[in-house]
Chain A
């Protein structure tokens, strides 16, 4: 229902520039994930869209309207905070209703909305508890429920799952995906550190680095066609192997990248090396191999017998999957 447009948006805290001119055009109903290293400005950008931070320059439009100077409550955004930000002295029901009471809704409508979003998130049996008496996952669901009941045009999430344990994170991630499916015309912007969250949830991923956009694209775009060395090393887990020096120069690049899953153990492979460490994860095994030609690289091999450290072997890169980068970090055709 609401397109979100950023035009040359900048942010400085005093004399420190944090966001250096960002242009983005997010379609209505799109699920967009902001990723980037710590301190790159993800939260700041999200908070600027929410209205919690002033915009130092450029223009923000939501649903075609300029929003730079509109109060947070009037932007039609709802935010889910990393720390949940639940009112500790209110019950779940009161937490969800409190924000709605400003919106001049009738008692009945508030009750209806709260009940509906509680049911959607299966927290209706917790309505009379205080946040203290909830688990982390339940709190997060209440925070999401509170945001839903505002029926926002734009949903903002700032690392909503980072305080949850691994199993719960997976469950909640799936729930958020389902939520997006159900609220398909609500635009969602989601900040995360987590590769998997970004890859699985996003329609499009925005990779930020030091206050600039590095690349915008679908998850597969970013994985297959990284627009820079930075994106190449940032997307994918474990990281892409980056090889410099003579081996790269022989391929006409300052640096070549190959993902662990595109390296194979092969008798006649061009790179000879020794296993330094093996990580068997059950479904995959990652070998850390020290090679003469490519330096230290990580290789993904199918599960099964794991070579012990010290084993000598040869590696062959999948030529079609090699990424070549110039000295400036830009990809070479």
Chain B
């Protein structure tokens, strides 16, 4: 605060007062954020460079990049690379996470857009439908994941039962346990759960578009699809992209859904699951911290790249 006032000596008293008030209002949130976000993050990054284990967090020693990558020498002139970056399971989980996020967010965007377009029209009972559509989003993930686990159960699940009755499959499929279907089961449940959120954000963007330009387009006889592509889509694109960023961030740290539905499956192990396994199950706390740190940077990298790329697009549109 002092530095601020010194660099701007010509600020009026009123402006200084306002600035002080602004900082006063911001301070509680900054302190809370520092306590619950910045500090744990810093600790995690630090643990990643130590030999900490769960029962010995106190006297962890600095080991540099050992957890990330190091050459393990067998002593006979041979050896191998070790560390998170050399672990094929880690890279598999990175790939799984990105594949999951890309697929589920794409499907959610398309479905969300369609639902938002429908909800944007006025029809009898719209308010009720709008509320009803939010139910999947309102259910805690653990609950809905458990619910879907039962529905997808290979012996007692209703999904198998229905598909067999209509003759789409001959024998029950273990949806969550079969490597070929596990990821699709996860994506399907995630789509079911988060499409409403997407639809709601897109609906908000749609409602920002003024009605009068649609009337102007009607006077011009612009066909519906062209109108959507040339008018609606460009106008909701900023909102749509924000929704996609939110969802992507969320999807990249997917944990609970997979933890409940398909634990211990290579086919669906995400970065978060990988980090947790090492942190707590395998008692490799430092190694898990290194994985968590990498997770943080992967998500940051993808998000920044996405924002960069789309902002370029936005500027071209604007």
A residues lining the B interface (CB < 8 Å): 50-52, 71-74, 77-79, 81, 83-89, 98-100, 102-103, 130, 150
CB of B221 within 8 Å of the partner chain: yes
Chain A interface, >50% SS class: loop
**A103 shortest CB reach to chain B, Å:** 8
Complex A-B: 19 CB contacts under 8 Å: A71-B221, A72-B218, A72-B219, A73-B218, A73-B220, A74-B221, A78-B219, A79-B215, A79-B219, A81-B215, A86-B216, A88-B213, A89-B234, A89-B317, A99-B219, A99-B222, A100-B220, A102-B223, A103-B221
Q: For A52, A78, A89, A130, which residue has the most chain B Cβ atoms within 10 angstroms?
A: A89
The residue on B at minimum CB distance from A80 is B216
| B127 at the binding interface (Cβ < 8 Å) | no
Instruction: Determine the chain B residues whose CB is within 8 A of the CB of A77 once the complex forms.
Output: 219
Contact A85 B220 (CB under 8 A): no
Check B234 against A83 for contact (C-beta < 8 Å).
no
CB-CB under 8 A from B213, the residues of chain A are 85-88
Most buried by B among A83, A85, A86: A85
Shortest A21–chain B CB gap in Å is: 25
Minimum C-beta distance from B149 to chain A (A): 45
Residues of A with C-beta under 8 A to B223: 102
- C-beta contact mask, B196-228 vs A, less than 8 Å → 1, else 0? 000000000000001011011111111100100
Contact of A85 among B216, B221, B226, B230 (CB under 8 A): B216
Q: Which residue of B lies closest to A77 (CB)?
A: B219
Closest 4 CB pairs of A and B: A73-B221, A99-B220, A85-B212, A85-B216
A19 to B221, CA, bound (A): 26
Q: A51-B219, A99-B219, A150-B220 are in contact. List 4 more A-B contacts (CB 8 A).
A: A72-B218, A77-B219, A86-B213, A102-B226
Query: Which residues on A sit within 8 Å (CB–CB) of B45?
Result: none
A118 to B210, CA, bound (A): 25
Q: Which residues of A contact B234 (CB under 8 A)?
A: 89
Cβ < 8 Å to A, chain B residues 218-268? 218-223, 226, 230-231, 234-235
Interface centre among B213, B222, B231, B317, by most A CB within 10 Å?
Answer: B213
Bound Cα distance from A222 to B97, whole angstroms: 76
User: Does B315 have its Cβ within 8 Å of any Cβ on chain A?
Assistant: no
Which residues on A sit within 8 Å (CB–CB) of B220?
73, 98-100, 102, 150
The residue on B at minimum CB distance from A102 is B221
Contact (Cβ within 8 A) B215 A85 = yes
Question: Considering the chains assembled together, what is the distance between the CA atoms of A50 and B215 in angstroms?
Answer: 10
Q: State the CA gap A74–B218 with chains docked (Å).
A: 10
- CB of B210 within 8 A of CB of A52, answer no
> Which residues of B, 292-318, contact A by the 8 Å Cβ criterion?
317-318
The residues in B between 4 and 50 inclusive whose CB is less than 8 angstroms from any CB of A are none
Q: How far is the CB of B314 from chain A (nearest CB, A)?
A: 11
Closest to B215 in A: A52
Query: Which chain B residues lie closer than 8 Å to A72 at the CB level?
Result: 218-219, 221
Q: Which residue of A lies closest to B209 (CB)?
A: A88
A92 to chain B, nearest CB (A): 14
For residue B214, which residue of chain A has the nearest CB?
A85
Closest residue on chain A to residue B230 by CB atoms: A98
- Whole-angstrom CA separation of A71 from B221 in the bound complex: 8
**A52–B219 touching, CB < 8 Å:** yes
A77 to B221, CA, bound (A): 11
| Chain A residues closer than 8 Å to B222, beta-carbon distance | 98-99, 102
Q: How far does the Cβ of B126 sit from chain A's closest Cβ, in whole Å? A: 17
Q: With A52-B219, A73-B218 as given contacts, are A85 and B235 in contact (CB-CB < 8 Å)?
A: no
CB-defined contacts of B217 to chain A, threshold 8 Å: 99
Q: Give bound CA distance, A87 to B212, whole Å.
A: 9
Q: Are A73 and B219 in contact (CB under 8 A)?
A: yes
Residues in A with CB closer than 8 Å to B216 are 79, 81, 85-87, 99
A101 to B169, CA, bound (A): 50
Please report the C-alpha to C-alpha distance between residue A84 and residue B231 in the assembled complex, in whole angstroms.
16
Assuming the A-B contacts A89-B318, A98-B230, are A83 and B212 also in contact, with contact meaning beta carbons closer than 8 angstroms in the complex?
A: yes
Contact present for A87 and B231 (CB under 8 Å): yes
Smallest Cβ-Cβ distance to A99: which chain B residue: B220
Q: Specify which chain B residues have a CB less than 8 angstroms from the CB of A78 in the assembled complex.
A: 219
When chains A and B are docked, how far (Å) is the Cα of A52 from the Cα of B215? Answer: 7
Smallest CB-CB separation from B235: which chain A residue? Answer: A89
Instruction: Output the nearest chain B residue to A95 by Cβ-Cβ distance.
Output: B216
Report Cα–Cα, A100/B216, bound state, in Å.
12
A71 to B218, CA, bound (A): 9
Closest beta carbon of chain B to A89's beta carbon, Å: 5
Could you tell me if B212 and A88 are in contact, using CB atoms closer than 8 angstroms? no
CA distance A187 to B37 in the complex (A): 67
Distance of A84 Cα from B222 Cα, bound (Å)? 18
Residues in A neighbouring B231, C-beta threshold 8 A? 87, 89
CA distance A44 to B36 in the complex (A): 58
User: A50 touching B219 by the CB < 8 A rule?
Assistant: yes
Give chain B nearest CB distance to A125 CB in angstroms.
Answer: 21
Q: Write out the residue numbers on chain B whose beta carbons fall within 8 Å of the beta carbon of A89.
A: 231, 234-235, 317-318
